[in-house]
Structure 1
Amino acid sequence: MPRPDWPLPPDWTCTASESHFAAPIDLTREIGAALAAPEQSKPLRALARAASRVVVVFTDTTRACPDQVIVPALLRELEAAGVPDDHLTLLCAVGMHRPSTRAEKIAKLGPVVVERYRVIDHAPAQCLDGVNALLSDADLIIATGVVEPHQYAGYSGGGKTVVIGCGDTAVIEYTHGPQFLDHPGVRLGRVAGNPFQNFVRDRARALGLKFVVNVVLNGDGLPVAVKAGDPIAVHEALIGVARGLYEVRVPQQYDVIVAKVDPPKDVNVYQASRAVTYLGLSAAPPIKPGGVIIIEAHCPEGAGQGVGEQNFYRALSQAHDLDQLLSDLRANGCRPGEQRAFMLARVLLRHTVIVASSACPDVIAQCRMMAVSSMGEGIDRARELIGPRADLLYVPHPLQTVPIVSNVVC
């Protein structure tokens, strides 16, 4: 178990919480096995034989999905099924994030794939009936994804890459609005009875998503499980793996939580703030009321460059106060990205949030958090707020760890 590399006050206790160990798999070999024996589905080659237009939806750079291994394996199957290159589109599910660069596409898929195939980004303006028009016209839709803890879906993966990553503004506003965010079933790690997850599954089925390849990653970002086949069957199978890996019992709530945000989620404040809300708004939060959350996140892109990220920043920076912000969003709904401001505001009304080592301290301050230059300075500020005695929880991988305190309800 890793230990913090910064000094603690002498009368503070420190407990570390990390996802359980799982050895990485040989992903190339295991994808081959998964494609040969798909979950509750015909093999991909059989599905593709009759298809004249195929769209492979893959995750954008904010997701750590190993698409550079998954997508070439899918393309080999489609080639073996006789699908010509010019009947194939690779669609990057950027949602309301900024478009991906050519370099990011190459990093995601490899130079050979990017040179050979049509690779494009989703854009909300390209939508028809709530989804990218290419999907409406496709004979076969395939998607990649990572099954990991998710603030709204409980666990990501399954149909989410298509439904949300390729949805239009209305779909994003509906699924990320207060009617979902305030629902008790919409919680980190909760799938059963979760209306957000139910919407994603129903919508994916209606759109005709037939086949997915999803993975589970360990705390080091390495794949430990992969499944292929029917979206719901794959999702359910890998949720079982993910729960056993990510959900960790802790004995109590803590005065202070310290977490380090791993790439790619440390790219901007919008993405990094997930660590704050995951810790503060889980079904059984490990932070005491009034406690301090400290995250280390570099955020080289500031608040974020996409439409959603900019909406997030404006909502927080221009709000008169946080209570009023929540009231306004509940009354008027959330534009894409404002849902993250909504969730972060809920945490900020209960806790002090400190962000260490960022490249954009002014943006952090505008987003109602405290910016400090180092983790050590963050501990000093927390000590001023909490006092000379405190219990601290260290979570080195907060987006791959769900600390659960028994008998605590958010």
Structure 2
Amino acid sequence: MQVPIRYGKDDVLNINFDEKNLLGIFNPNKVEKFDEAELIKKAMRNPINQKTFDEFISGDEEIVIIVNDGTRPTPTSKILKEIYPKIRDKKKTFIIANGCHRDPTEDEYEMIFSKEIWAEVKAKGEAHSHDSKNDEMVYLGESSNKTQMYLNKIVANAKKVIPIGSVEPHYFAGYTGGRKAFLPGVAKYETIEQNHKLALSHDAQALRLEGNPVHEDMVDAMKVLTHIDVFAIMTVLDSDHNIYYVNSGDLNDTFYDCIEKAEEVFCVKIPQKADIVISVAPYPMEVDLYQAQKALDNGKLALAQGGVLIMVAKCRTGIGPKPFFNLMASADTPQKVLEKIQEEFHLGYHKAGKMAEIGLWAQTWAVSDLSDDEMRAVHLKPYHDLQKALDDALGEKGKDAKIVILPFGSMTVPKI
């Protein structure tokens, strides 16, 4: 049988193998389609534990709108299409919640805002790209876990803030969305580092919120926002990146309200674990190795002990933030990576830790645009031909090896 695999935004890689080997191709679940504009309008009219959007934006106070960067599939432009006419003439600042990521490219700005709205926002000078290391920060307090909450001055000094986010499974925070707009979104580098060190816990995993130290620390840290009036807009996307659900209102209430809808889309049931898993980081989540790693972490949930996990990720801009790469490149085995993390932690090491843990019990291979040396440095067996990688895996695991394919591996959480 032949199966097409998307590679980056526009390319397709076709693979051929015996149908008897296929355990299944598991996409996010098919769900009902809705009129997206109507979903958004309805959510604005019926907020959860908050005044209506029109009431929220009334008055002359400046409004700060937090939007996700270009590595997230959040349908920001669709939300803005509906609400921008209402805030066009308001005093406002859009802040890009980069966390510790790089600034968006011009193409990414147009993807985030839409070409038309971005042209207007850019001309007015109403957008700021958050820089966790160099922007002026304000200390607002600390969480029970002693994470010191330094937020970008633009947000910390605001009276009205509108975070626009999307909720889907996240490999160590449980789920994206909600509180992540502030931490890590617009937080200081050291604040993010303190929170993300908790990702080394085995309880920091996809779908888990209760007992997840990363999530619980973020939620607890939100108590420093009591002086800010927050109107959150949260979305859940389907596998076609269409809006499946939207709500608005209180930051935490909107987040938790989206969880059930996100599980309807992204949690898939598989009959058993496979010998070979092909997990794809879809556009735009294949932007770099740092982001694409999520496909590995979800893919491992479908993989049998000693199996081969093949990550397919274009990594069109390269490695991404370097600390995790430098750490992995400095150790010749996954075990030594974990030992180094125990000695000293820096932001990015959580990513290295999650990758190294898989290497203790399975083989990790990759098909990407990265160089062979770059892939080997992070303990990935390098390929540039997916068919060759699959043939080699079948040769190693045997003619009866079972294969699972996750075309949206970054967002699909397999469950037995």
With normalisation by structure 2, the TM-score equals 0.88
- Which residue in 1 is equivalent to 2:55? 46
- Which residue in 1 is equivalent to 2:210? 192
In 1, Cα distance between equivalents of 2:212 and 2:304 = 25
The one of 374, 381, 387 equivalent to 1:363 is 374
- Which residue in 1 is equivalent to 2:93? 89
Contact 2:199 2:213 in 1 (8 A): no
Report how far residue 358 of structure 1 moved.
2.6
Structure 1 counterpart of 2:328, which letter? L
Report how far residue 298 of structure 1 moved.
1.2
Tell me: CA distance 1:399–1:320, structure 2 relative to 1, closer, same or farther (3 Å).
closer
- Which residue in 2 is equivalent to 1:107? 111
Contact 1:11 1:390 in 2 (8 A): no
Structure 2 counterpart of 1:202, which letter? D
Cα displacement string for residues 107-133 of structure 1 (whole angstroms, at most 9, x for unaligned residues)? 211344332441110011222221111
Contact 2:295 2:411 in 1 (8 A): no
- Which residue in 2 is equivalent to 1:27? 36
Report how far residue 365 of structure 1 moved.
1.9
- Which residue in 2 is equivalent to 1:331? 343
Unpaired runs of 5+ in structure 1? 406-410
Give 1:182-261 correspondences, 5 Å limit: 182-207=200-225, 208=228, 210-261=230-281
In 2, Cα distance between equivalents of 1:21 and 1:153 = 25
Structure 1 counterpart of 2:231, which letter? F
1:193 match: secondary structure:
coil
1:6 match: secondary structure:
strand
Tell me: CA distance 1:137–1:357, structure 2 relative to 1, closer, same or farther (3 Å).
closer
User: Are positions 1:128 and 2:138 aligned together?
Assistant: yes
Cα displacement string for residues 149-171 of structure 1 (whole angstroms, at most 9, x for unaligned residues)? 10122111112122211111112
User: Are positions 1:319 and 2:331 aligned together?
Assistant: yes
In 1, Cα distance between equivalents of 2:240 and 2:78 = 17
Structure 1 counterpart of 2:358, which letter? V
Report how far residue 346 of structure 1 moved.
1.0
Contact 2:130 2:152 in 1 (8 A): yes
Report how far residue 60 of structure 1 moved.
0.3
User: Are positions 1:297 and 2:313 aligned together?
Assistant: yes
In 2, Cα distance between equivalents of 1:255 and 1:298 = 23
User: Are positions 1:98 and 2:102 aligned together?
Assistant: yes
1:341 match: secondary structure:
helix
- Which residue in 1 is equivalent to 2:405? 394
Tell me: CA distance 1:123–1:357, structure 2 relative to 1, closer, same or farther (3 Å).
closer
Structure 2 counterpart of 1:194, which letter? N
Report how far residue 357 of structure 1 moved.
4.3
In 2, Cα distance between equivalents of 1:351 and 1:137 = 48
User: Are positions 1:14 and 2:23 aligned together?
Assistant: yes
Unpaired runs of 5+ in structure 2? 5-13, 140-149
- Higher mean alpha-carbon deviation, 227-236 vs 356-365, is at 356-365
Structure 1 counterpart of 2:284, which letter? P
Structure 1 counterpart of 2:21, which letter? W
Contact 1:209 1:231 in 2 (8 A): no
Contact 1:258 1:393 in 2 (8 A): yes
1:258 match: secondary structure:
strand
Tell me: CA distance 1:72–1:11, structure 2 relative to 1, closer, same or farther (3 Å).
closer
Number of residue equivalences: 388
In 2, Cα distance between equivalents of 1:71 and 1:190 = 31
Report how far residue 71 of structure 1 moved.
2.7
Tell me: CA distance 1:101–1:364, structure 2 relative to 1, closer, same or farther (3 Å).
same
- Which residue in 2 is equivalent to 1:408? none
Tell me: CA distance 1:320–1:7, structure 2 relative to 1, closer, same or farther (3 Å).
closer
Contact 2:306 2:362 in 1 (8 A): yes
2:276 match: secondary structure:
strand
Tell me: CA distance 1:103–1:356, structure 2 relative to 1, closer, same or farther (3 Å).
closer
Cα displacement string for residues 230-273 of structure 1 (whole angstroms, at most 9, x for unaligned residues)? 11111111111111221122121111111222100111111111
Report how far residue 322 of structure 1 moved.
2.3
In 1, Cα distance between equivalents of 2:262 and 2:107 = 31
1:152 match: secondary structure:
coil
